[in-house]
Chain A
């Protein structure tokens, strides 16, 4: 009996030691925050920092390439190693960032979808960069203003613009020409309605395909000279004359068969219609430009892009992600993280990222480079996207409950555009729900 117990105890002890040893060895290569490294020691040893990013394909390659470039140059010099780690979509990245922060395992650096900046800043997860910006005299005015709006919370910078975009209108040039229309595209919503009607009559397909797309929805409101939420984000403008106009306009197009609208959850169906040439126009991110050019090539048609048509004015929200630094780092780690952020968003890297991924060029100094000018010559659509951003780009709402608000907007669009619900009652209900969420 004694033997048995001692055996069990020994086994358990060994097991415990094994686990804790495994714990040590597995955490060693990824030591980021929490490690008690003094600044002095860190300057001699290499500081490893995790950098979390979203999305795959070119975007992933871009993140890995840039991290490697940094590690081989400045990183080598200053003893910093950036470890890029893929985390899924923006939402997944945010969820994991939050969970890892609570667990004390947060990465030093991460991308962050711009509308979430405030939520994470207010809760102290990401760090204000103002001290560093002032100290290094970083020229933040070189970024386009439409892009920096969502970096700033209560007057302080919490992120730097990284892979940023705006929605634009994509056009199937081949189909437009077949229907006898000017492939430059409609400049106003009235022209858009005419285009759709002609396409329907000439080709028997819908002119415009879209889905309950909250981001483009924000653009519709900017074009009516208003916005989805009021300036201090205490109420929504959905149940206004402008809101009703937007909802009725698309409802009419859909009922006549001139346009097709998918539910929010069916967003992927738009690309199928595009590929099968069942639609001539659709909205999407400027970041999708290369994807749609490839798709059009494979399916044998030409595409082009234009501004989203104007109401009383042009206007689009910006989107994409900033790069942010988490709190709770040692001074040495903070310094290293800042070094990478600064480098990553500098002119040269901005040029690289924007050519590699198709995201908009975030810095004015980058636009002036020969590489970007050459890109514009080769790909005029890239310039259209940038011009639209430069002149008509706005920030997105940043209310910490905006994720919930977005869901109500999508539900309203689903109700009216997909299930033909009454505009007035739907908008009144949505307004009440959204205002209750914002007040909370």
Chain B
């Protein structure tokens, strides 16, 4: 009897924290999404009205599109570029150790500082990027002011920020691949490309799998650069789901409506996670 209680007691602190800060808010968010409430007055039950409004709201369609565009490009580019960088940096030399450190720095710096730095780099009048472009005779780009360009700028910033972390994880994974596999491959005179696809990639696939999933979830939750640099503008072109949740909930005081967007985000993330585990986990080579 006593030994049955013990494990529960051991996990109780963690479970209580999880319950209070994760599980309860999720349940409460789902509950709130059926109400019209400004957090101050009385709550009004509205059934699925919030979701109906959401589906018919053109701005929401745009936000959804923006978010998917952001996720696709950010995750794709940061993982592929991270992989390239890792391939280059995997040899354990002093200069590589330095480069690895350098490329990792953006990951340590807070997103808020990064946002401010890039805001000025990308300034259309005084920014360094346009100054450099000017030196090679390219017209200034309105990085953050043009609705057609702004999202690309946000993607560039996010990719720049996340490459370092991806590289670090992948380098570690590559250095963990046993040397005898490569020796065997070179005995067989395997071309470098074949070695990469047949040995390196399968061997690092658990790390790669982990990275893609983590990047995916982080990308769907993008908030800081959007909030700080563009605040969702110009013309809603960089507005993403989390920024919209924040705006509807805490600027416009429509917490029920904001919760319904939260529910949509949660559904998207759940579907992604389940699909991803289902499809890819079978192909991942675990040792």
Residues of A participating in the B interface, judged by any CB pair closer than 8 Å:
1-2, 4-5, 8, 91, 95, 98-99, 101-102, 119-120, 122-125, 262-266, 269, 272, 400-401, 403-404, 407, 410-411, 414-415, 418-419
Contact = CB atoms under 8 A, between A and B. Distances in A.
Contact of B236 (A119, A124, A411): A411
A277 to B, nearest CB: 14
A213 to B, nearest CB: 14
Contact of B39 (A102, A262, A269, A411): A102
Contact of B147 (A4, A124, A419): A419
Contact of B2 (A1, A91, A404): A1
The CB with the most chain A CB atoms within 10 A, among B5, B229, B231, B233, is that of: B233
6 contacts: A5-B9, A119-B40, A124-B41, A262-B145, A269-B125, A403-B251
B123 A269 contact: yes
Contacts of A119: 38, 40, 253
B41 A418 contact: no
B82 to A, nearest CB: 30
A102 B250 CA distance: 14
A419 B146 CA distance: 7
A2 B3 CA distance: 10
Please name the 10 residue pairs, one residue from A and one from B, whose CB atoms are nearest each other, closest first.
A123-B40, A123-B41, A265-B231, A404-B252, A1-B2, A263-B234, A414-B234, A265-B233, A95-B250, A403-B252
B272 interface: no
Interface of B: 2-3, 5-6, 9, 38-41, 123, 125-126, 144-147, 229-231, 233-236, 247, 250-253
A5 B7 CA distance: 11
Contacts of A98: 39-40, 253
Given A122-B41, A263-B145, A414 B235 contact: yes
A401 B236 CA distance: 19
Contacts of A8: 9
B233 A5 contact: no
Contact of B40 (A102, A401, A411, A418): A102
Contact of B251 (A91, A102, A264, A414): A91
A91 B250 CA distance: 9
Contacts of A407: 247
The secondary-structure label for the interface of chain B is: loop
A418 B144 CA distance: 12
Given A102-B40, A418-B145, A4 B6 contact: yes
Chain A facing B: main interface SS: helix
Contacts of B39: 98-99, 102
Contact of A123 (B3, B38, B126): B38
Contacts, number: 68
Contacts of A120: 40
A195 B152 CA distance: 38
Nearest to B5: A5
Contacts of A414: 233-235
Given A102-B39, A125-B40, A419-B147, A5 B234 contact: no
Contacts of A4: 6
A93 B40 CA distance: 15
Given A5-B9, A102-B39, 13 more contacts: A1-B6, A8-B9, A119-B40, A122-B41, A123-B38, A123-B40, A263-B234, A264-B233, A265-B234, A266-B145, A407-B247, A411-B233, A411-B236
A98 B144 CA distance: 33
Contacts of B230: 265
Contacts of B235: 411, 414-415, 419
Contacts of A410: 233
A98 B147 CA distance: 34
Nearest to A99: B39
A435 B5 CA distance: 60
B240 to A, nearest CB: 15
B40 A124 contact: yes
A301 B234 CA distance: 33
Contacts of B253: 98, 119, 403
Contacts of A411: 233, 235-236
B216 to A, nearest CB: 27
A400 B230 CA distance: 25
Contacts of B145: 262-263, 266, 418-419
A419 B234 CA distance: 9
A304 to B, nearest CB: 26
B93 to A, nearest CB: 44
A265 B3 CA distance: 60
Which of the listed residues B39, B144, B229, B253 has the most CB atoms from chain A within 10 Å of its own CB?
A: B253
Contacts of B126: 272
A8 to B, nearest CB: 6
B144 to A, nearest CB: 8
A401 B144 CA distance: 28
Contacts of B236: 411
Contacts of B252: 401, 403-404
A8 B12 CA distance: 11
Contacts of A419: 145-147, 234-235
B40 to A, nearest CB: 3
A403 B250 CA distance: 11
Nearest to A272: B126
Contacts of B40: 98, 101-102, 119-120, 123-125
A262 B125 CA distance: 11
A268 to B, nearest CB: 9
Contacts of B251: 91, 403
Contacts of A91: 251
A1 B233 contact: no
B37 to A, nearest CB: 11
A91 B234 CA distance: 21
A410 B144 CA distance: 16
A272 B247 CA distance: 28
A125 B282 CA distance: 56
B192 to A, nearest CB: 47
Contacts of B6: 1, 4-5
A401 B5 CA distance: 53
A403 B248 CA distance: 10
A411 B239 CA distance: 13
Contacts of A123: 38, 40-41
